[in-house]
Amino acid sequence: MAPLQKNHTLSSDFIILGFGDLAELQIFFFGLFLIMHLVTLAGHTTIVLITCTNSSLQTPMYFFLCNLSAIEICYILVIVPNMLANFLSWSQRMPFLGCALQMHLFIALGGAECFLLAAMAYDRFVAICRPLRYPLTVTRALCLQMLALACVSGFALSLALTTLIFLLPFCQSHEINHFFCDIPAVLFLACSDTRANEIAIFLVCTLILLSPFFLILLSYGFIIVAVLRIHSAEGRSKAFSTCAGHLLVSLLHYGCATFIYIRPKSCYSPDQDKIVSLIYTNVTPVLYPVIYSLRNKEVKGALKRLLESHN
């Protein structure tokens, strides 16, 4: 019976319900999130171009910022175009393997972003707490190694997590009450005992979310102590300003993700999850370039020079 059940699952499509219950607002939401999507892509693409082409921004901090924006571009392209298409239809069919691929890429890129945010916290820790050792410690080679480790870890853990979920039988409803193939929404459709899978998923999510976040909090604990020892108000202000953007982005990213993924299946709430998912796939990505750029004189100066050079 099990092989037949598995074959039935593999040959079936999932149906993404999206926001079909808000038919009268579909066009409005499509226009709103299309504008946000284009602004997000423009913002992150601008950061990538500026940090890659400007000689004054060839430092570890901007190396990580450039790659963070590149990952964020891929991250939203995995989700948002399908979501926008979903606004224009009552339901959207997605092949079984297509759903698995979307989940894998989404988790992999989100995981890589989590690990990269931890690497950025380490960079700030060394820059502020060990400034004399900074050029010798945070080298180009170390930056490349941390970037590679973040990406490999994200994709490896994502592969394990996606495999755990899609090996489950989906022998009843194939209607996903979400706008993409997210973990809780797909897991909710499984028609077998998922307790062992839930424990494994919790452990993987802990590695992806809580471990890097703990390292970030630990780094900022040392940073705060070091900054408070600076005697001049100007020095303290400058030190805090270089960290404020990264800390705010980390809190937004980890806060939303932890709410969705670090909890049991019994707490699953489709409507609540869709709202939170809209925030971390659409709202927070559009804020990141603003948070990183508006308070950063070097980025604003590089952007001004780039615009002047094309006039």
Q: Provide the angle, in degrees to the nearest 10, between the axes of the packed helices 140-166 and 195-205.
A: 170
Residue 258, token pair as written in the block: 């932890």
Name the CA radius of gyration of the chain, rounded.
21
Sheet holding 92-95, edge to edge: 92-95, 13-16, 175-176
pLDDT digits (tens, 9 = 90+) for 179-194: 899 988 898 888 888 8
Beta strands, E only, the chain = 13-16, 92-95, 175-176
The C-alpha atoms of residue 178 and residue 180 are separated, in whole angstroms, by 6
pLDDT digits (tens, 9 = 90+) for 107-142: 999 999 999 999 999 999 999 899 899 999 999 999
The model's confidence at residue 63, banded by pLDDT at 50, 70 and 90, is: very high
Say if residues 9 and 96 touch (Cβ distance below 8 Å): yes
Lowest-confidence segment of 20-24, 76-80, 188-192, 293-297 by average pLDDT: 293-297
Residue 213, token pair as written in the block: 């976040």
Q: What is the pTM of this model?
A: 0.88
Domain layout of the chain by residue ranges: 21-302
Collapse the DSSP code of 173 into the 3-class scheme (helix H, G, I; strand E, B; otherwise coil) and give the result.
coil
Read off the pLDDT of each residue in 260-273 and give the average, rounded to a whole number. Answer: 77
Collapse the DSSP code of 95 into the 3-class scheme (helix H, G, I; strand E, B; otherwise coil) and give the result.
strand
In the chain, count H helices and then E strands.
Answer: 13, 3
Residue 26, token pair as written in the block: 């579909």
Class (C level, CATH) for 21-302: mainly alpha
Pairing of strands 13-16, 92-95: antiparallel
The C-alpha atoms of residue 10 and residue 119 are separated, in whole angstroms, by 38
Q: Say yes or no to pLDDT of 233 above 90.
A: no
Q: Is the dihedral of CA 74, 76, 79, 82 positive or negative?
A: negative
Q: Provide the angle, in degrees to the nearest 10, between the axes of the packed helices 140-166 and 60-87.
A: 30
Residue 23 burial by Cβ neighbours in a 10 Å radius (0-12, 13-18, 19+): exposed
Q: Is 91 left (phi over 0), alpha (psi -120 to 50) or beta?
A: beta
